[in-house]
Amino acid sequence: MAARPSGEPFPRNCVLWATDPRLMEREADAWCAFWGEGDGVATLSGPDTAPATLLGELRSVPLFRSVQPVRVRNAQAVGGETLQVLADYLKNPSPSAALLLEVAADLGKKDRQGNLDLRHLKNTGLWKDLLAAAAVKSCQPPNLRAYARDRVKSEGMRITDEALEALDEWAHGELALVVRALDLLLLYKREERVVEAADLQALLGSGGTPHHWEVLDAWLAGDAKAFVRRLDGLRRDPDAEPLGLLGMAAKQMRGLLYLQAIRAEGGNPRSVPHKELGYVHTVQVQKLAGALDKWPEARIRQVLNRLFELDLALKGAPGDPWGHVQRVLLRTMVRAAASPP
């Protein structure tokens, strides 16, 4: 979706999107620096934003400046009532406010007819209204290697072609894993100023994502014994993160939802290009297509809600995060044969 024309360097009412929130940080900070003149930006978090709080910030009179900037992070998680407020506000925005929404979701996905596909978001109709009324900008890199190369270059360093290939292989196309891996690699190679293939083996190990896939394969298949055994092995890997596994599970659920829609329209899920689902290899699409009979649409949506709740819990609840992951994923899996989770 193209941004609406604007005479300002940064649109007054803007939606940034990317599949990982950290990919939006640089653009969001630049927007805040422009509209906030260095400070004074009201920052809200999507899941915690009440309609009254949001309207209060947008309608407040700015002090010692002409514009009150409001930044909403994780806007994809706002409740339905707050989303309605946002959609209505953007139809008649305040001349004394500027609004930035950071959406950690794919807003560039198209259906087979080339239309914007927002079925992975709740309240699809409201999102379409909102996006039609704001300037929308993608912060999503074209591919994993382009992101890695640009990120390393921005730090005044370089990465070899062999290291890029090794990073792609290690992450299996999961951009969120690459974002975190580069944090470590760039810190480790700060003095040498170059990232090489051997550095990945030294810092990231060879376990990484392949072990994640083994755990999720058992989860999709409903093999509880294999799931527990593989998850136990994964949690011993110091480079593995519960949120990384959770993000991959949520991506699988969104992929299943997309393939169910293709099948409902009479299409062949196995023929869907892997890039449509955000994967580097077609094997992941084939695995999802083979699991469709076990995952009806209603169950997929219920499990996605569970995963979203788990994501919030992991970011704020005490205790063993791997234990939380095991309990929720095992519960959704073992109850599949009898009833929806």
Which of 121, 138, 155 is the last residue before a domain boundary?
Answer: 138
Of 94, 118, 138, the last residue of a domain is 138
Give the phi and the psi of residue 155 in degrees, each rounded to 5: -90, 5
Do both 224 and 177 map to the same domain? no
Question: pLDDT of 192-213, one tens digit each?
Answer: 999 998 888 777 654 445 578 7
List residues bridging with 116 in a β-sheet: 110
- Co-location of 236 and 330 in the same domain: yes
Ordered per-residue pLDDT tens for the chain, 341 residues? 333 334 467 899 999 999 888 889 889 999 999 998 756 789 998 888 899 999 999 988 777 778 899 999 999 989 999 999 999 999 999 999 999 999 998 898 877 777 778 888 888 889 999 999 999 999 999 888 999 999 999 899 999 998 998 888 777 677 877 887 888 888 888 889 999 988 887 776 544 455 787 888 889 988 888 888 888 888 887 767 888 888 889 989 999 999 999 999 999 998 888 778 877 566 778 889 988 988 999 999 999 999 988 888 887 666 788 988 999 998 888 444 443 44
Domain enclosing residue 152, as ranges: 144-204
In a domain, 4, yes or no: no
The total number of structural domains that make up the chain = 3
Quick one: 108 and 159 in the same domain?
no
Which CATH number goes with the domain that contains 175?
1.10.8.60
Same domain, 330 and 212: yes
Residue at a domain's end among 204, 219, 243: 204
Host H or E run for residue 141: none
Classify residue 340: in a domain, yes or no.
Answer: no
Residue with token string 């760039």? 186
- 303: domain CATH number? 1.20.272.10
Tell me the C-alpha distance between 197 and 159, whole Å.
9
Torsion of CA 329, 256, 74, 66, to 10 degrees: -170
How far is residue 42's CA from residue 68's CA, in Å, rounded to a whole number? 8
* Same-domain pairing of 269 and 199: no
Which CA distances in Å does 233 have to 62, 222, 229, 236, 281? 54, 18, 7, 5, 24
**Residue 8 domain-assigned?**
no
pTM for the whole thing?
0.57
Any domain includes 273: yes
Asked if 70 and 95 sit in the same domain, the reply is yes
